[in-house]
Amino acid sequence: MKKVYLDNAATTQVAKEVVEVMQPYFLEKYGNASCLHSWGQEARDAVEQSRKVIAEKINAEPEEIIFTGGGSESNNLAIKGTAFQLKDKGNHIITSEFEHPAVLNICKALGKKGFEVTYVAIDKNGFVNLEQLKNSITNKTVLVSIMHANNEIGTIQNINEIGNICKENNIVFHTDAVQSFAKVPIDVKKENITLASFSAHKLHGPKGIGALYIKKATKLKKQIDGGHQEFNQRSGTENVPGIIGFAKAVEVITEKNIENITEFRNYLINELLKIKGTALNGSQDNRLCNNVSISFKNVEGESILLSLDDKGVAVTTSSACTSSKLESSHVLKAIGLKSEDAHGTIRFTLSKYTTKEELDYTIESVRGIIKKLRGISPLK
């Protein structure tokens, strides 16, 4: 059976070049980067070289990057680390309604620990209401956490404006850039970002490795106690192969890749919108190069997903972390979709390995499935 993987926002195939550079660090160069002998120093050099690669990609200094166990851990360190570090200054945090659970659940947990959280609304295209954001700031606000690009609908936020608002008000600005990193340019200096979270497995790197950008002189309350690794911000022996793989994954993504993915994304959107009773979710212009979120009227998303899976095509109904629940997605609710439209929504996410032939097979399959499901649906 043909196999088409269109769930690249959930995770990606690890690039061959990435596996190749990682392998020696499992089999031969397996030293602990904190050790003084030559094995250790060999690992240390590779880690520092990788740190430079990540830093350069976002116009940061290498010592402003620390490696973590992924996007969720980076978000925890950024948000809890700031909240607990600055709790004597204030206990108010601002975030948005449509963050990933890896931010929302942290904020919920902080809410139970005496912090106040404001959830700023977003508009129908997925943009944060900047007026509401400004009006929510009080003298107790210590942190604004707004994601760079949304994992479900692909909208890319105007983080430049949010960064400016935070700078004017002397507030820490954290952005979850897990979906946007290496797809959308990020300049932490120009955009006044204080903290930014990244994850390798969304960009053809390995799972379980991520990074946090921490602007110079920003203090965070440590979340993992132990040794003094990562400038004493994150204890634990460095995942050397993971770190090296992460940097390689960033190095091998080219502008041409992004251009091609964007072209294929537009093709898929245009073809799917030719099916009657369909609508695109998220911004048309400020959209992740690989995201296609489509609502199909009068059909259940789960049925579309399972029928596509029968044909070897992998898609998702909402984010991977919430797709086992039958509740409609908080993101689709936040952009004002009716519950029945939210339930008929499918996310297709492409990668640099996606081919035109795979898209044509998917489009043909979707057409047939929608026709069949609508034929038997009691909803008309």
Positions marked active-site: 321
Structure tokens at 125: 């295209």
CA-based angle 287:195:180, to the nearest 5?
A: 20
Burial class (CB in 10 A: 0-12, 13-18, 19+), 266: middle
Q: Decide if residue 205 touches ligand PLP (CB under 6 A).
A: no
Q: Decide if residue 179 touches ligand PLP (CB under 6 A).
A: yes
Smaller CB separation from ligand PLP, 196 or 370: 196
Q: Decide if residue 50 touches ligand PLP (CB under 6 A).
A: no
Q: Decide if residue 186 touches ligand PLP (CB under 6 A).
A: no
Question: Which residue number has the CB closest to ligand PLP?
Answer: 71
Please pick, from the candidates 18, 65, 70, 287, the single residue that binds ligand PLP as defined by CB under 6 A.
70
CB of 178 to ligand PLP, least distance (A): 4
17: Cα separation from own chain's centroid: 22
Phi (first) and psi of residue 294, to 5 degrees: -125, 135
Footprint of ligand PLP on 98-137 (CB under 6 A): 100, 102
Q: Decide if residue 199 touches ligand PLP (CB under 6 A).
A: yes
Smaller CB separation from ligand PLP, 327 or 360: 327
Please pick, from the candidates 72, 293, 328, 354, the single residue that binds ligand PLP as defined by CB under 6 A.
72
Please pick, from the candidates 147, 171, 196, 363, the single residue that binds ligand PLP as defined by CB under 6 A.
147
Contact range with ligand PLP by CB under 6 A, out of 13-21, 69-77, 184-192, 359-367: 69-77
Q: Decide if residue 288 touches ligand PLP (CB under 6 A).
A: no
Please pick, from the candidates 151, 157, 317, 328, the single residue that binds ligand PLP as defined by CB under 6 A.
151
Smaller CB separation from ligand PLP, 319 or 365: 319
Number of residues that bind ligand PLP (CB under 6 A): 13
Question: CB–CB of 313/362 below 8 Å?
Answer: yes
Smaller CB separation from ligand PLP, 44 or 198: 198
Smaller CB separation from ligand PLP, 80 or 100: 100
Q: Decide if residue 210 touches ligand PLP (CB under 6 A).
A: yes
Return residues touching ligand PLP (CB under 6 A): 70-72, 100, 102, 147, 151, 176, 178-179, 199, 210, 320
